[in-house]
Structure 1
Amino acid sequence: MREIVIGGAQMGPIQKADSREAVVERMIALLKQAKGAGCDLVVFPELCLTTFFPRWYMEDPAEVDFWFEREMPNGATKPLFDAAKQAGIAISFGYAELTPEGQHFNTSILTDREGNIVGKYRKVHLPGHSEFDTERAFQHLEKRYFLPGDLGFPVWRNMDALMGMCICNDRRWPEVYRVMGLQGVELVMLGYNTPSVNSQMADEGLEKRLYHSDLSMTAGAYQNSTWVVGVAKAGDEDGHPLMGGSIIVDPNGYVVARAAGEGDELIVHACDMDACNFGKSTIFDFARHRRIEHYGRICSQTGVERSA
């Protein structure tokens, strides 16, 4: 048995005025809970050092860059890395990355149990729009503030398991899980900041939004025989509600842990990486069953091309 006790560290709302230092204190408090629960790895949400700033329309580059981190760790986050190293807990969390070349990405990192960064992922599937949209109930300007990720969907061996990452909207795209699945992934970690309300269809409702979030992650887990840990930043951020619904999903697609509310909350499950083996060697034995000669369209076109 290759058991990793995983904590999903859901975070409640982060207001626009909250400092990074105050947020890191909350993350360390969750880390202490995880230590008490025997966790080996803790997964935090997308953009978990700040409010979900893409809801705000900004034209001043300096105002935009305030929300980005130029290095990791930095002065604000070093206490988190130190606490994780002292606890012997690996961590994954998301933040807005500003590279030395001036590029902006929505990024997640993964550390080992000694606090060393061993993996980095940059969000590929950016939702929303790039200019102010008068037809929306609120803005979702990820395409304005971020470039699409340029690192693909790598997998890293960490703690004797093959681990991958994706972020928020990525979870809705089956290609994401499959590319990692083709590398033998056993654990997919993802954070999200998902509004409780659809800005373009207000009557969709929270129940349906949570259902679709679950559906995306449970299907990805089952179809690639992998654990999936999906962790939300939730609650009311300056009048803009984000949904919770953090879950841990087993390689058969069953939810084995779920957050109860929309605040800071730790969900925990002992995840046996060997539980991936059966699915990977039977119904989802890709080497035996995939028929790539029929899949060319997936990589050769983006939009729909109707034959009639």
Structure 2
Amino acid sequence: MPRFINVAAAQLGPIQRADSRRDVVERLLAHLHQAHAMGCQLVVFPELALTTFFPRWYLEDPAELDAFYEREMPGAETRVLFETAARLGVGFYLGYAELALEQGAARRYNTSILVGQDGAIIGKYRKVHLPGHAEHEPWRDFQHLEKRYFEPGPGFDVWRAYGGVIGMALCNDRRWSETYRVMGLQGAEMILLGYNTPVHNPPAPEHDDLSMFHNHLVMQAGAYQNGTWVVGVAKGGKEEGCEMIGGTCIIAPSGEIVAACSTKGDELAIARCDLDLCHSYKTTTFNFDRHRRPDAYGLITSRRGAIEPEHLAA
């Protein structure tokens, strides 16, 4: 029996530094309401969806930096998202900057959460592949200080949710084949992936004209090679003078883009995703048990054992 989930990829246009959390949350709520009106069960927001992309500045004042982070989730300004999700019966994925207190120490992560249709948090992911640099580089038109403002998360997990096996990733994770494979080995049937990507790459400007091609290339390859849906959601447009690529799309396990945004502003791309479509790829061309040769790779291939989808367990 097909296992359908109606997914809305909720692209955001630019968020300026002066925009308040309240203003941004109102835009997210508008996406939730529109997605509900179109029969969606899950809305996927971008990376750092509550603020401008603050790693583009070198900030020396700790208080100024800390203002971009969430100390709790939900918090006073974000609780309405969870309440609305529960009322509408529409869950969501949300990327944000997290300031966590762990064993008495402040830890900063680039984080995403998966929230169920009841408004409860199902799982949390902390970004593994941090791009950019850790020290101020004045020659750049804008900075990319993720290595300064975040620490890497522990790894990739998957969760049983929405009738399937769901994984999460963030932005630069999408460029690394290990991201998809580690979750593929755990039975992932849908990977949710928010990003903020500038058009201009200061260390390699020769890549600029290929930024959208590379964006779609890696997500389509990851989907196909692991027999999983991939929902890639951008923050696009000119944000504080920096042009972001957009390119939000929903990719089937075949590697085909089945829905996409056509602007760089606030927009929904919607697809009816059959999780059972993963089965024909996971049991034929990319049947890992039959065809993979981990003995020949010399690598640790998985952080933990696979979660077998319930429809295959029998």
| TM bin (shorter chain) | over 0.9
Q: SS at 1:14's partner residue? A: coil
Superposed CA deviations along residues 177-208 of structure 1, whole A, max 9, x for unmatched, are 000000110000000000011122334334x1
- State the Cα distance separating 1:298 from its structure 2 match: 7.0
Specify the alignment match of 1:149 in structure 2: 153
- CA gap of 1:274–1:297, structure 2 versus 1, over 3 A, is closer
1:115 matched to 2:116? The reply is no
1:107-256 to 2 correspondence within 5 Å? 107-150=111-154, 152-206=155-209, 208-256=210-258
Structure 2: distance between partners of 1:297 and 1:6: 35
For residues 299 and 165 of structure 2, the distance between their equivalents in structure 1, rounded to whole angstroms, comes to 29
Who is 1:73 aligned against?
74
**Given the alignment, which residue of 244, 266, 269 partners 1:267?**
269
SS of the residue 1:133 aligns to: coil
Number of residue-to-residue matches in the alignment? 297
Q: Does 1:43 align with 2:47?
A: no
Distance 1:141 1:57 in 2: 7
What is the identity, as a one-letter code, of the residue corresponding to 2:47? E
For each residue in 1:240-276, what CA deviation from the matched residue of structure 2 results, as whole angstroms up to 9, or x when unmatched?
1111000100001000011101000000000000000
Identity %: 56
CA–CA distance in 1 between the matches of 2:18 and 2:92? 25
Tell me what 1:280 maps to: 282
- 1:143-169 C-alpha deviation (Å, 9 max, x unpaired): 00000112x110000021100000000
Q: Choose 234-243 or 223-232, whichever is displaced more.
A: 234-243
Whether the 8 Å contact between 1:228 and 1:249 is mirrored in structure 2 is: yes
What is the TM-score when the length of structure 2 is the normalising length?
A: 0.93
Cα deviation 1:201-246 (Å, max 9, x = unaligned): 334334x100000000000000000000000011111111111000
SS at match of 1:210: helix
Deviation of residue 297 (structure 1)? 4.9
Q: Which residue of 1 aligns with 2:34?
A: 33
Q: Give the CA deviation at 1:100.
A: 1.6
- Counterparts of 2:186 and 2:300, CA distance in 1: 18
* Paired residue type of 2:190: L
Unaligned runs of 5+ in 1: 300-308
CA distance in 1, matches of 2:232, 2:146: 20
More off after superposition, 163-172 vs 94-103: 94-103
Contact 1:137 1:200 in 2 (8 A): no
Moved over 6 A (4+): none
- Give secondary structure in 1 for the equivalent of 2:225: helix
Equivalents in 2 of 1:205, 1:184: separation in Å?
34
Offset at 1:135?
Answer: 3.6
| 3-state SS of 1:33 partner | helix
Whether 1:3 and 2:4 are equivalent positions in the alignment is yes
2:269 and 2:129 map into 1 onto residues whose CA distance is: 27
Paired residue type of 2:81? L
In 2, Cα distance between equivalents of 1:148 and 1:191: 16
**Aligned residue for 2:53?**
52
Shift, 1:92, TM fit: 0.3
Deviates more, 1:197-206 or 1:102-111: 197-206
Alpha-carbon distance in 2 for matches of 1:107, 1:56: 19
RMSD between aligned residues: 1.1
Q: Aligned pair 1:258/2:266, yes or no?
A: no
* Alpha-carbon separation, structure 2, partners of 1:182 and 1:238: 40
